[in-house]
Amino acid sequence: MLAAITGINWGDEGKGRVIDLVAEKADIVVRYQGGNNAGHTVVTGSGKYVLNLLPSGILHPDVTCVLGDGMVVDLEHLAKEISQIQESGVDVSPRNLKLSSRATISMPWHRVQDELEEDRLAKTGTAFGSTRRGIAYAYSDKYRKKTLRLGDLLHLDKPYIQARLETMLESKNLELAGCYHQEPMSYPALLSWCEKQAALFAPYICDTGSYLQRSLENGKIVVLEAQLGAMRDIDYGIFPYTSSSSTISAYGPIGAGIPGEQLDHVVGVLKAYSTCVGAGPFIAEHAMPESWMESLRSAGYEYGAATGRPRRVGPFDVVASRYGLKCQNADKIALTKLDVLSKFDEIPVITGYRQDGVLLDSFDPMIDLDSCEPVIKYLPGWSSGISTCRSWNELPENAKAYVSFIEEQLDHEIQFVSVGAERDQYIMKGEWL
């Protein structure tokens, strides 16, 4: 079986939690795009883990994790992440972690470029809200053919690799010195950095596409783990406030290294309310007073797992979610953090947008979203804790009515509902994977 776990909205939907659950039955979990700008939080009996590069399946000892072809990999960050999780007692070795030889390396200058450009744009109020981790610059250089892939680290003694290093270094020094007045990097320093990374990661690097193909042919269960959500997709998101890769499920097999395979299932993850990290239009934050949003942010501890920044929050957005579901082509839906809404006497839901007096019920990322006003419907709250509920019938009637209303608005059944952060705090409703 090949399944993808994807975000329906702006990211931060709780994909890590869902992947952790699905990984209990999986053999392999694969990251297929993005880099260490991801932030997946998983709470287990042994503690809370924030994962940026490592797939959430790494917390399961019998699961093999893969960083796929479509990723950009900051090897310095990966080394730190591996070290931290090992200190927590989690095994990470070439036995259970494989790095695609085709994945792109995030070079030392990519993070520097990201920080410098965001600082420059911030002075004019036009910053993109980047994580400052160099992701856009790594992808840009991938398509400019001015970076290395992980497999190149295995051939640093070859003249053709050394020639490429010299060429890309010359180009980068021109950019950094000419545009940002930075000190140039020397070739010996660059080669030394590459050799250090090769010494650390050579045992992990392999042809992961062939490994995944053989695994599927042998009946293994493979789960593809997405970063961010549909609204941050480079093609279908709210451009230019997007990630620099495809967050859409259809890209999953390509980014994983198995482009000829078809997905058996797509799990779309929604949060019971709306959240957003980063800049760009976000209609939901205009729906309620700041006091309401701060109360929601505090109740849900809405701070970015990758950045620590306070998330922008608002009511559940039906319009944006319909669009995200269409982009992801999800056949299963997981709804997370329903328990956070337990403190509210009434719960707002965005059912439409109004622009220049015209009612809109469909989402179009190409229009001036900042000029849209949310249309709100209020539903009764349940004002009681639900974290101990383990079946649909145990939920308060108003909580069930809230979930049912979302199902009606999206024209899609919700199969999974989380009612707390712990691994066992969820309800299965309908047929799951």
Positions annotated as catalytic residues are 12, 40
Rg of the chain, C-alpha, whole Å: 22
11 DSSP 8-state letter = S
- Lookup: tokens for 42: 């998983």
Q: At 354, is the secondary structure helix, strand, or coil?
A: strand
Q: What is the rounded distance in angstroms from the CA atom of residue 117 to the CA atom of residue 100?
A: 29
DSSP 205-249: EE-HHHHHHHHHHTT--EEEEEEEEGGG-TTTSSTTSS-SS--SG
Q: How many CB atoms lie within 10 A of CB 347?
A: 21
Helix or strand (DSSP H, E) at 105: strand 104-105
Q: What is the rounded distance in angstroms from the CA atom of residue 408 to the CA atom of residue 177?
A: 56
Cβ pair 290, 354 in contact under 8 A: no
- HSE value, Cβ hemisphere, 13 Å, CA-based, for 382: 19
